[in-house]
Amino acid sequence: MPGLPMLPETAPFPAEQITALNRIMSATNAEQRTWLSGFLSGYQAANAPQPAAAAAPARRAPLTILFATESGNAESLADVARKAASKLGFAARVLDMADATPAQVAAAQNLLVIASTWGEGDPPQRAIDFHAALMAEDAPRFDGVRYAVLALGDRAYAKFCETGRLFDERFAALGGTRVADRIECDLDYDVAANAWLGGTLTQLQAGLGEPDAGAAVIHVDFARAPLEASAYNRTRPFEAEITERIKLSGSRSTSETWHVEVSLAGSGIVYEPGDSLGFLPSNDPALVDAVLMATGLSGDAALRAALSERFDITTLTRKQVADYARLIGDASLAEDVAFADGRQVIDLLSAAPHGLSAEQLTSLLRPLPPRYYSVASSLKTVPDEAHLLVAAVRYETHGRARSGVASVDLADRRNAGERLKVFVKPNLHFRLPTDPQRPIIMIGPGTGVAPFRAFMQERDAVGARGKSWLVFGHRHYTHDFLYQLEWQDLLKRGVLSRLDVAFSRDQPEKRYVQHALWDARRDLHAWVQDGAVIYVCGDANAMAKDVHATLQRIVGDQALDALRREGRYLRDVY
Amino acid sequence: MDRSLPPSPNEAIKANSRYLRGTIADGLTRVETGALSDDDQQLTKFHGIYLQDDRDLRAERGRKKMEKAFSFMARLRVPGGVLTPAQWLAAETIARERGNGTLRLTTRQTIQFHGIIKSNLRLAISGLNDAMLDTIAACGDVNRNVIATANPWESRGHAEVAALAQAIGTHLLPKSRAWHEIWIDGEQHTGGEEEDEPIYGRTYMPRKFKIAVALPPHNDVDVFAHDLGFIAIREGDRVAGYNVVVGGGMGMTHGEPDTFPRTGDVIGFCRPDQVVDIAEKVVTIQRDSGNRSDRKHARLKYTIERIGLPAFCMELERRLGYSLSPAQDFAFTDNGDRLGWAHGDDGALHYTLFVENGRVRDLPDRQLLSGLHAIAELGVGRFIITANQNLVIADITPQQKRAVGELLRAHGIDAPVSGLRRNSIACVALPTCGLALAESERYLPSLVARLEDQLEQLGLAQDDITIRMTGCPNGCARPYLAEIALVGRAPGLYHLYLGGAFNGTRLNKLYRKDVDGDAIIAALSPLLREYAGQRRDGERFGDYAIRAGHVRPTTAGNTFHDDLAPELRS
């Protein structure tokens, strides 16, 4: 395999092992190699000769684990890292970038950074301040800080893991000492991230010269993604029965939104309003057939099942274009990785059809990630149930009809009585105020209204007295007013204090939630003065930005920043 | 009236409404519902606005956790039906931007906008106001839009009756400022200070009140179908005065034989300058004597039936302080429109355009909305809505005729239609009308098409025969005056009436009960065949049906339900 370094003949292995290792290495992809390096680090650390017992440390070494999270994954990993670090004898503390300043962090001795990248290469919203301060000219020096960065991202975006990369480079530029190479993880980060954490913590510890004998054996559980508190998680989901499935959008709506109720009975699963439910979808059988057909693998039943359930056969990354081009020896395709933009796997396979083996095909594909939906219910109102609000995603690009994997799976292929593979993903940063008297302003157009239905059910159930204000929007009042009768009832009973709406296509001039906010700016200002928490849920690309800009105009840039720092401006956008 | 019975709930709503304000303005701010409160729904009618819902969608709404698909119908007040081209364009814009994109020409010479949701309602009404149009008193217990013959052959006479319709309408307009307050200015004018309704009083009329002005020989307004009518009597090219007609009305209720349609009675003749005064006095008699307990018996026709025509006339003359002259002779030839180009007395040209069921919209082969838009953009003439749901493009100069004609042709809207179709009228009914029991506007065209095949074979394709359909018995398409009438009973089922006079002077009679489309065709086919073979020279289908004994003639409203075939007596 040209291009990749081979084990030299001088490597400390018998010749036939060198040949075997080279053969194995040449068949690996970058992710597999990353994983392997992490694994070997952990393995090495776990089996290293134990230092003398006399060298037991007088004190536990401090470790700061700093995370920047948008969806909660980085935060979960930070918790995993903290547990592993404690076992190794670190006095680990976890710090949210939202609550941290560079000056604080620069004082750390050992620093583990876990940073996700959001959208087109942006830092998570809650980490914007920290990011800006770190990049600023007057950022503090990091001399003496021993650090390593774990970057989370999505290869479907061109600036994959951009935030982690920038942090890594910046820490180095500010004098920090990188103790392990940065790892860049895709959506299926669990195993690689765990392996890297094991190895990196060991390296951090090794440099201290005073490892904790009692915690020298690292246990990194590769089989289990330790993200969720519940017994069920993304690798071991609960099979929840669909008990209700209603298309909420009117028959003349131009959109398609579904209300899906699943039973959690017997699972012991609990969630809080604001949390998300993860769902493991199946791929569109027609698309599975098309992929099998394009690769000449139509007869392979086992592969068919794997493509249905386990592999992402839609999202196309530039890396996949390059990998495929290399696999089929297509030089021109190799130079055209931008082919990936706006296209999907089937476009690649159809553009340059080539017979593949099952292994070649699956090695090309990423694992099928779970999809997350904000839960639209409260267990206090509907015990043992979780309600989801799902907008069916359908569009056309490059002459092909496309459909959202999970949303259309729910919309077209799942009926009441069938089971969904689900698990809870907590969202600690999108919770009702602990004080039931505190006013809340909920801005949630489209399916963004889901968590607010949960909030209202919760506040109704506990008899919370705080004022509540919902700002909802969609296309047409008549056909898209999701949960209209429920809002009417909540208003009548005073659980919901105020409702404002913006329907974009009911009149010649487009009207969105930010326009409703602007119209109500005086009252909004007063609510904020009264201590209201502002929640925004829904579309990240346009809505959240426009709402943000409008809120800035209404309450002022600095005041809005202050609200965010106080936890009174919370967003769950996607 | 029987004062021992309690007043209907509407009376208290009116009395407590602070002259038609109610809580409408507050209700408009409630975004969680597309509706208004029950009481306010009654009051908006006085402002020309009805709350409706899309009945096609009713079944799905609850399950989808949404209320009924509410929207509003707004009805213009257009005395005589005359609009400028600029007003037509404004109306079209309102329909496109705030309504369902269509205009609905009505049998009372106005335009209805359908599908206006609450958030657009105020903008729609104020947009109309900007074009010098309003919806005041277009519905409700008041005098409604005053209609007048839209007759392009008689320009001078037409101008006079149109001016008279305008004068009556203005005189009987409610004086309350509520309409302007709620829909235009958005603020209180009166600050709660007492207003006065010198003609109506606090509780307005017991029920709606309708006035029509007809210019013989054409009875396009169906002058006998209204509470009050005026029939112009000409001397030369001037209108010398008017015969006064009282007590007409269409509505009835299925299964309640004490409700019935009634043709008005001609009670005398008056000078033109007496018309407004007479209108006011007839209105006040009905205001004081009409039944305010039972809205099904609250029209003037029941008052006259109750107190008797002589007593009514005595009371009228007492209030007038003078007597009417004896009625003068008149003759009506028809109650329809004459389509196509016509020359006026003064050389101006008029084009009467067939608008099937009054629905102005673009169909692939018949682009009414676009075509009329283009013609209105020429900025010439007038747009006159007829009482048969058609449109006259009036007062076109010979130089402009060609441009108008080309636009009509280019949009496919001047294509000839059969005699039955051009004399067909249907009410709106489903999906928006809350009263509809059966389809009407969406069904009649296809039913006519089935009959057209037969008429073609019988050589009757170009014979004028009136056919009218309504989705309920309330009579918006004036069905009881048609030669063939279909009145909805239940989805897919109609009562079939025959024997109305072609000129609108005689009510029809029930011929078949609860018939569906196939049964309607089966019932009419042999009659049309007979008619084709056995009619006398110039004999109308409605007259033939009586001569041949298929139905007995209805000579007065109170015998409408009598003289039925044995199997029809209930």
Neighbouring-strand partners of residue B396 = B349
Q: Identify the residue whose tokens are 């006026």.
A: B344
Rg (CA), chain A: 25
| Nearest-angstrom CA–CA distance, A483 and A472 | 11
| Contact between A477 and B54 using a beta-carbon 8 Å cutoff | no
For range B546-564, the mean pLDDT: 97
For residue B401, indicate whether it is catalytic: no
Say what the pTM is: 0.86
For range B466-473, the mean pLDDT: 98
Are the C-beta atoms of residues B134 and B173 closer than 8 Å to each other? Answer: no
For residue B296, indicate whether it is catalytic: no
| Contact between B65 and A250 using a beta-carbon 8 Å cutoff | no
| Contact between A249 and B64 using a beta-carbon 8 Å cutoff | yes
Helix (H) or strand (E) holding A194, with range, is helix A190-208
Q: pLDDT exceeding 90 applies to what percent of chain A?
A: 70
Helix or strand or coil: residue A390?
strand
| Nearest-angstrom CA–CA distance, A487 and B490 | 35
| Nearest-angstrom CA–CA distance, B342 and A75 | 82
Helix (H) or strand (E) holding A455, with range, is helix A450-462
Q: Rounded to 10 degrees, what is the CA torsion of A28, A31, A35, A37?
A: 70
Q: Report residue A38 CA to chain centroid gap.
A: 22
Per mean pLDDT, which range of A287-296, A418-427, B337-346, B359-368 is the poorest? B337-346
Best B28, B30, B31 member to test A by mutation, with max A CBs in 10 Å, is: B31
- pLDDT above 90: residue B388: yes
- pLDDT above 90: residue A474: yes
For residue B144, indicate whether it is catalytic: yes
Are the C-beta atoms of residues A292 and A301 closer than 8 Å to each other? Answer: no
Q: What's the one-letter identity of residue A68?
A: A
| Contact between B120 and A507 using a beta-carbon 8 Å cutoff | yes
Pairs of residues, one from chain A and one from chain B, whose beta carbons lie less than 8 Å apart:
60
| Contact between B119 and A481 using a beta-carbon 8 Å cutoff | no
> Nearest-CA distance from A72 to chain B in Å?
32
Confidence of residue B478 (pLDDT cuts 50, 70, 90): very high
| Contact between B67 and A252 using a beta-carbon 8 Å cutoff | no
- pLDDT above 70: residue A214: no
For residue B139, indicate whether it is catalytic: no
Neighbouring-strand partners of residue B343 = B349
Q: Report residue A269 CA to chain centroid gap.
A: 20
Best A387, A457, A474, A478 member to test B by mutation, with max B CBs in 10 Å, is: A478
Neighbouring residues of B313: CB distance < 8 A, sequence distance ≥ 6? B267, B268, B324
For range B89-116, the mean pLDDT: 98
Cis peptide before B217 (omega within 30 of 0): yes
| Contact between B65 and A483 using a beta-carbon 8 Å cutoff | yes
- Classify the C-alpha dihedral B412-B413-B414-B415 as positive or negative: positive
> Nearest-CA distance from A468 to chain B in Å?
15
For range A259-285, the mean pLDDT: 96
Q: Please tell me which of the candidates B54, B63, B66 has its beta carbon nearest to residue A481.
A: B66
What is the DSSP pairing of strand A419-425 with strand A276-279? antiparallel
Are the C-beta atoms of residues A257 and A446 closer than 8 Å to each other? Answer: yes
For residue B421, indicate whether it is catalytic: no
Helix (H) or strand (E) holding B51, with range, is strand B49-53
Q: What's the one-letter identity of residue A270?
A: V
State the ipTM, two decimals. Answer: 0.93
Q: What is the pLDDT of residue A219?
A: 41
Confidence of residue A52 (pLDDT cuts 50, 70, 90): very low
Best B36, B58, B65, B123 member to test A by mutation, with max A CBs in 10 Å, is: B65
Neighbouring residues of A16: CB distance < 8 A, sequence distance ≥ 6? none
> Nearest-CA distance from A423 to chain B in Å?
27
| Nearest-angstrom CA–CA distance, B302 and B118 | 36
Rounded to 5 degrees, φ, ψ at A52 are -60, 145
For range B364-382, the mean pLDDT: 96
Residues of A in contact with B99 (CB under 8 A): none
Q: Please tell me which of the candidates A248, A252, A485 has its beta carbon nearest to residue B67.
A: A485
- Over the stretch B166-217, which tens digit does the pLDDT of each residue have? 999 999 999 999 999 999 987 655 555 567 899 999 999 999 999 999 999 9
| Nearest-angstrom CA–CA distance, B285 and B296 | 18
> Nearest-CA distance from A247 to chain B in Å?
7
> How would you write A340-385 as a 3-class SS string?
HCCCEHHHHHHHCCCCCCHHHHHHHCEECCCEEEEECCCCCCCCCE
| Contact between B31 and A500 using a beta-carbon 8 Å cutoff | yes
Helix or strand or coil: residue A96?
strand
For range A141-148, the mean pLDDT: 93
Q: Rounded to 10 degrees, what is the CA torsion of A315, A321, A326, A327?
A: 30
| Contact between B62 and A485 using a beta-carbon 8 Å cutoff | yes
DSSP annotation of B186: -
For range A176-196, the mean pLDDT: 90
Residues of A in contact with B54 (CB under 8 A): 478
- Over the stretch A323-339, which tens digit does the pLDDT of each residue have? 999 999 999 999 999 99
| Contact between A506 and B117 using a beta-carbon 8 Å cutoff | yes
CA angle B528–B532–B538, rounded 5-degree value: 115
The Cβ of residue A137 has, within 10 Å, a number of other Cβ atoms equal to: 4
For residue B210, indicate whether it is catalytic: yes
Q: Please tell me which of the candidates A483, A485, A499 has its beta carbon nearest to residue B31.
A: A499
> Nearest-CA distance from B336 to chain A in Å?
38
| Contact between B65 and A500 using a beta-carbon 8 Å cutoff | no
Chain A residues touching chain B at CB-CB below 8 Å: 246-252, 259, 477-479, 481-488, 491, 499-501, 503, 506-508
Are the C-beta atoms of residues A480 and A472 closer than 8 Å to each other? Answer: no
Chain B residues touching chain A at CB-CB below 8 Å: 31-34, 54, 57, 60-67, 69-71, 97-98, 117-120, 123
For range A523-528, the mean pLDDT: 98
Q: Please tell me which of the candidates B32, B61, B98 has its beta carbon nearest to residue A487.
A: B32
Q: What is the pLDDT of residue A53?
A: 44
Residues of A in contact with B117 (CB under 8 A): 477-478, 506
Annotated active-site residue in B14, B75, B299, B506: B75
Per mean pLDDT, which range of A156-170, A413-427, B316-330 is the poorest? A156-170
Annotated active-site residue in B139, B270, B313, B472: B472
What is the DSSP pairing of strand B70-75 with strand B111-116? antiparallel
Q: pLDDT exceeding 90 applies to what percent of chain B?
A: 92
Cis peptide before B431 (omega within 30 of 0): yes
Confidence of residue A76 (pLDDT cuts 50, 70, 90): confident
Average pLDDT of chain A to the nearest whole number? 89
Q: Please tell me which of the candidates A250, A488, A508 has its beta carbon nearest to residue B32.
A: A488
Average pLDDT of chain B to the nearest whole number? 95
Q: DSSP for B346-374? A: TS-EEEEEP-GGGEE-EETTEEHHHHHHH
| Nearest-angstrom CA–CA distance, A23 and A34 | 17
- pLDDT above 80: residue B300: yes
Q: Please tell me which of the candidates A485, A491, A507 has its beta carbon nearest to residue B66.
A: A485
Neighbouring residues of A251: CB distance < 8 A, sequence distance ≥ 6? A479, B57, B60
Which residue of chain A has the CA closest to B53?
A478
Which residue of chain B has the CA closest to A246?
B64
Residues of A in contact with B62 (CB under 8 A): 485
Annotated active-site residue in B313, B476, B506, B509: B476
Q: What is the pLDDT of residue A72?
A: 83
- pLDDT above 90: residue B431: yes
Annotated active-site residue in B433, B506, B512, B540: B433
For residue B75, indicate whether it is catalytic: yes
